[in-house]
Chains A and B, each alone.
Chain A
Amino acid sequence: MTTIFLDHVRSQLALHQLRNGKGNPLLILHGLGERSPSSVPGIVRGWNGPIFALDFTGHGASTVPVGGGYTCEALMSDADAVLAEIGPLTLLGYGLGGYVGLLLFGSRPTEINGLIIMDGPGLDGGGGRPTSPMLVRVSQSDLDGSAPDPWALAELASDVRPPSYAADHVRQIQVLSGMDTAVVVACLGRPEWLTATLESPVIVESDVTSALSTFSSI
């Protein structure tokens, strides 16, 4: 594994190359509180091209900022920094990484060659609709600068993910990506935002092996 650091806004993002090679790159996005795997996970060994994994801000070897303020949109822009670095790629996201991947796909529909959504921490966020607002607080003694950032754990487990917002992004993918099958839902979890996406003909429920095979040939 080799690691490079991308300067992005005020963070340094750790991008790990788990496998070299030519062809369509695969980018793995970890779940909430996790970090990138240090070697190629068995489940993606059949992938034809190079394999990368990104540590989101506040996670793994990436910068742990002070003061919190996490959003899935900021993490989406972390993944977009990888897109700027290595060009079009296929995404495989665990939990939070699956939702962030959907946002990025909807925002860069011509530069993502498919998304696979897997189970993992942070798939649900704070649910599909706002609940009673509260001030999210973190104990000062937990803020020692190490990853994962306690602010990330608190804020990205309570952010609202409306079904209509996910559907907006799916509409962008459906109209602009030019793909017949763009997103493979390979997880058991069905948060509201994910259920809403299943109405689109470019989103299918399948398993990761066939998903990798579909996107590998792009």
Chain B
Amino acid sequence: MSNEIDVVRSSLPQAQRPDRSRRVDVGGIEVSVVEWGDEAAQPILLAHGGFDFAGTWDLFAPLLAERGFRVVAWDQRGHGDSDMAALYTWEADMRDAAHVIESLETDKPIPVLGHSKGGGMMNQLAEVLPHRVSAVINLDGIPNKRGFTNQIDRSDVNALAAELTGWLDHRRRAGQMNRRADTIEGLAERRQLMNPRLSMEWLQYLVTVGARCDDDGWRWKIDPTLRFGPSGAWRPEWAIPRLRGLHVPYLGVIGTVKEEMGWGTTPDEAFPILPEGAEFHALADTGHFVHIERPEYVAEMTVNFLGRVL
């Protein structure tokens, strides 16, 4: 089996597994923390998106590490090698992020970078712990009033009924659920349905780091009790005035090609709500995963930005 992994990973020699890993107690459950680069270098915290895991940084994080950063990422609870929890909320994920920062044992504020959901989380982290954050880099996680691309119209009674009962039906089954077992190629093909712009080489690589090999095949290491929506009482527009109110150096990057997993925020929507003095880049011909589609470009932009503001 390790041979199979070697073959898959050899097609992407530029992707690198982390140099170190450890576990951090976040209040009874543990999250997996990984690092690339010199331990004595300037730390930067990376927050992955929903239904992703720290291994999705294997292309991007080494580029920051080789440019002189200690790159720290973690698997959010229920994702990757972190423990599964009984309950999940945005607030619990925020607490976990704070625990990971505390585990670095530095009093100095650090730059934070997040993709998608992780970008939204880092926006909030800079508000709730401003003394811990020296800069924010947000990769396609800038909010808009409409919410996610696939958000339903809640005034449509039938659509809302389907969403609400669908979520409850999922919860009724969730305790007995297991993720579907498949081959590396099969899991990669399924993930490509949601991430159509990502290459099969990359998606197969992701299987080898984000799935586990059971007797009957590979399964994603993502808690099967997790499910998209409904987002409860939370409203996307709540995040907008808060973003405007951040007072840290801020780099916003969005992809301009709309995708199922993306938020669909346009440059016209993003620009007026960014913090004062923010840098903003809308990447042409790039989808939601800006750091995977254009790792060198985004890493260079990130390092140049941090060189100016830190």
Interface residues of A (CB under 8 A from B): 7-11, 57, 63, 65-74, 76-77, 80-81, 84, 106-109, 130, 133-138, 140, 143, 155, 159-162, 165, 168, 171-172, 175-176
B12 within 8 A of A: no
Contacts of B91 in A (CB 8 A): 69, 135-136, 155
Are B87's CB and A65's CB within 8 A?
yes
Contacts of B85 in A (CB 8 A): 10, 65-67, 69
Contacts of A70 in B (CB 8 A): 87, 89
Are A172's CB and B92's CB within 8 A?
no
The closest CB in chain B to the CB of A168 belongs to B154
Contacts of B94 in A (CB 8 A): 133, 135
Are B164's CB and A172's CB within 8 A?
yes
Are B88's CB and A69's CB within 8 A?
yes
The closest CB in chain B to the CB of A8 belongs to B175
Are B98's CB and A135's CB within 8 A?
yes
Q: What separation, in Å, do the CA atoms of A209 and B242 have in the docked complex?
A: 46
Contacts of A133 in B (CB 8 A): 94, 124, 127-128, 242
What number of B residues sit within 8 Å (CB to CB) of A? 42
Quick one: given A10-B225, A66-B86, A67-B85, are A162 and B172 in contact (CB under 8 Å)? no
For the residues of A in contact with B, the DSSP-based class is: loop
Are B28's CB and A143's CB within 8 A?
yes
Chain B min CB distance to A216 (Å): 26
For window 90-136 of B, CB contacts with A under 8 Å fall at 91-92, 94-95, 98, 124, 127-129
- Apart from A65-B86, A133-B127, A171-B157, what 11 extra A-B contacts exist at CB < 8 Å? A9-B171, A9-B175, A67-B29, A68-B95, A73-B230, A76-B168, A80-B168, A80-B171, A133-B94, A136-B91, A165-B233
Are A67's CB and B160's CB within 8 A?
no
For window 229-266 of B, CB contacts with A under 8 Å fall at 230, 232-235, 238, 242
Q: What separation, in Å, do the CA atoms of A172 and B230 have in the docked complex?
A: 15
Q: What separation, in Å, do the CA atoms of A8 and B164 have in the docked complex?
A: 17
